[in-house]
Amino acid sequence: MKKIKKRFINKRVLCALLAAAAVSGAIGFTGNTFDPVQAETIEELQKQQEELKKQQEELKKKQQEQQKKQDSLSEEEKNQNSKKNELNNEKEKTQAEVDELERQLDALLKELDAINAKADALVVDIGKANAELEDQQQKSEIQYNDMKLRIQYMYENQTASIEASIVASEDIGDVLNAADYYQKIYDYDRNMLDEIAATIKRIEELTESLNIQLAEVEKTQKQMNDKQNEINNIVSDKQDYISLMDSRIADAVKAASEAAQARKNAEAEEARLAEQEKKIAQQAEQKAAEEARLRAEEEARRRAAEEEAKRRAAEEARRRAAEEEAARQAAAAAAAQRQASASSSSSSYEAPAATSSSSSSSSSSSSSSSYSYSAPATTQSGSGLGYRIAANARANNGWYPATYGMCAQWVAGIYAQSGAGRPYGNAIDYWNKWSYSGSTSMSNIPVGAAVISSGAGVLAQTYGHIGIYLGDGMVASNIGGVKIETIQNFDRWSTATCQGHRGYIGWVWPNGVAQN
C-alpha cells in the first residue's frame, strides 16, 4: 500500500509541476529579452564614449603638434629677430664706414679744389710769364735792332763826325764830349740788351719753375682724382651693401612678422583645440553619467524582475504545495478506500491514478506544447569554450538570473561567465550584427552557439528570442526560468513575426568570434 501511494503521489506532483511550468511559460514569454532600448542605448553610449576617447586622443596629438609648431615658430621668430639685429649692426657698421669715407672724400674734394685753384693760378702765372717773356723778347729785338743801327751809324759816321767836331770845335773838350756821348749811347744800348737778356732769362727760369710746379700740381690732381674715384667706388660698393642689408633686414622683419603671426594662429588653434577637448571631456563625463544612470536603471529593473520572479516562484511554490497537499489527501482517501475494500487488489487502485496522472500529464503537455518541453539531462560531451558555455547554460550559471523578459541578457551573462566576453543587444540584434559568423541551417550547429528565433508574443515581434545550443539537438533559453528543449520545438512555438522572420532564424557566434 505504501509503495502504491508513493507512486500515485509522484505522478500527481509531476502533473502539477508540468502545469505550473506551462502557466509560467505562457505568462513569462510575453517578453523574451531585457529592455532593448536601454541595452541599445548603453551600447550606443559606449560607442560614443569610445569615439569621444578617440577624438580626445586625436586632439591631444594635434595639441602636441601645435605645441611643437609653436616652439618651432617661436624659435624661427627668435632667429629672424636675431638675424635682423645682426644685419642692423652690420648695416650701422657699414654706414659708419661710408660716413667716414664721405668725410675723407669731402676733405679730398676740398684739397682738390685748392690744388685746382693752385693749378689755375700757375697757368695764369705761366701765361703772364710767357706774355712778359714775349714782350721782353720783342723789346730785346727792337733794342738790339736800334743798337745795331746806332752802332752802324756811329761806325760809319764816327770818323767824320769826330773830324768835323774837331774842326768845328774850338775846344778839345767838345770833341771828347762827343766821343763820350757816342760811348754812352753804346753803353746804354749794351746795358739795355744785357738787362733785357737778364729779364728774358729770369722769365724763362720763372716759366720753367711754373711749368715744373704745374706738372707737380697736375700729378697731384691726377692722384687726387684717382683717390676720389677709388673712394667713390668704395662708397658705391658700401651703399650697394647697405641696400642689400636693407633688403635682408626687410626679409628678416617680414619672416619674423610671419612667424609671429603663425605662432599667434597656432596659439589660437591650440586654444580652440583645448576648448574642444574640454567640451569633449564634458560630453564624455555626461555620457559616462548617462551610462551609469542607464545601468542603474537596468540594475533596478533586473532586481525588480528578480523580485517579481521570486514573488511568482513563491506563489507557484504555494500553489504546488497546495496541489501536493490535495494530492496527499486524495492519496490518503484512496488508501482508505482500498483498505476498506479487501476485494480490490493493489493494482486496481494504481490504474486509475496512473490513468489520471497520464491524462493530466498529457493535458499539461498539450497545453504547453507551444512553449515548453522536458529535456533529457545529458548533453553532447566535448572540450573547449563552446562546451563550457553549453554547460553553464544548462546549469543556469551566468552573470544574470533567468529572469522574465531577459533572454538576451541571460545569454550575455552565460557568455561572460564562461570567459567569452559579454555581447550586447537583443535577440534580433545578434542576428543582424553577426549573421556572417553563423548559418540559417538547423544542422551542424556548433555547441555553445547562440540560436535565434522570432519567439512568441507582442514584444517578440520587435526583439525576437534567443537561446544557447547544448548539442544533441537541444537548446537552453530563458523564459522566466531556464527552458531546455529540442531545436524543433524551439522553432515550433516561435509564432511571432520579427523583422520579416518567423520561427527559427539561425545561429551565430556572439561578437562574431567562434568559440570552438
Task: Give pLDDT tens digits for 91-121.
Answer: 898 999 889 888 888 888 888 888 888 888 8
Average pLDDT over residues 404-411: 89
* 3-state percent helix, strand, coil for the chain, nearest multiple of 5: 75, 5, 15
pLDDT value at position 494? 93
Task: Give pLDDT tens digits for 316-327.
Answer: 778 777 867 776
Q: Is pLDDT of 352 > 50?
A: no
pLDDT value at position 370? 32
* Nearest Cα to Cα of residue 153 among 194, 173, 181, 172: 181
Most confidently modeled range among 15-24, 203-212, 351-360, 442-451:
442-451
Task: Give pLDDT tens digits for 326-341.
Answer: 767 776 776 677 667 6
Average pLDDT over residues 162-172: 60
C-alpha cell at 435: 549573421
C-alpha cell at 399: 552573470
pLDDT value at position 407? 93
Contact 446, 386 (CB under 8 A): yes
pLDDT value at position 66? 83
Average pLDDT over residues 471-489: 94
More confident residue, 464 or 110: 464
- Min mean pLDDT across 272-281, 472-481, 490-499 is at 272-281
pLDDT value at position 345? 38
Q: Is pLDDT of 135 > 60?
A: yes
Residues 6+ apart with CB under 8 A from 384: 448, 515, 516
Counting Cβ atoms within 10 Å, is residue 418 exposed (0-12), middle (13-18) or buried (19+)? buried
Residues 6+ apart with CB under 8 A from 111: 224
pLDDT value at position 366? 30
* Nearest Cα to Cα of residue 91 among 232, 192, 241: 241
Cα gap 513→180, rounded to integer Å: 164
C-alpha 23, offset from chain centre: 64
Q: Is pLDDT of 490 > 80?
A: yes
pLDDT value at position 174? 61
* Nearest Cα to Cα of residue 33 among 464, 299, 406: 406
pLDDT value at position 128? 84
pLDDT value at position 514? 85
Q: Is pLDDT of 137 > 90?
A: no
Cα gap 408→28, rounded to integer Å: 14
Task: Give pLDDT tens digits for 424-462.
Answer: 999 999 999 999 999 999 999 999 999 999 999 888 888
pLDDT value at position 40? 53
pLDDT value at position 450? 96
Most confidently modeled range among 14-28, 32-46, 292-306:
292-306
Cα gap 61→370, rounded to integer Å: 59
Q: Is pLDDT of 411 > 90?
A: yes
Residues 6+ apart with CB under 8 A from 246: 91
Residue 28 banded pLDDT, cuts 50, 70, 90: very low
pLDDT value at position 21? 39
Cα gap 463→38, rounded to integer Å: 13
Structural domains of the chain ordered from first start: 376-516 (3.90.1720.10)
> Which DSSP symbol is given to 440?
S
Task: Give pLDDT tens digits for 249-299.
Answer: 999 898 988 888 998 898 898 888 888 888 888 888 888 888 888 888 888
Counting Cβ atoms within 10 Å, is residue 400 exposed (0-12), middle (13-18) or buried (19+)? buried
pLDDT value at position 33? 38
Average pLDDT over residues 185-195: 82
Q: Is pLDDT of 191 > 70?
A: yes
Mean pLDDT of the chain: 78
Counting Cβ atoms within 10 Å, is residue 211 exposed (0-12), middle (13-18) or buried (19+)? middle
Q: Is pLDDT of 32 > 80?
A: no
Q: Is pLDDT of 347 > 60?
A: no
Residue 350 banded pLDDT, cuts 50, 70, 90: very low
Q: What whole-number percentage of the chain has pLDDT above 90? A: 26
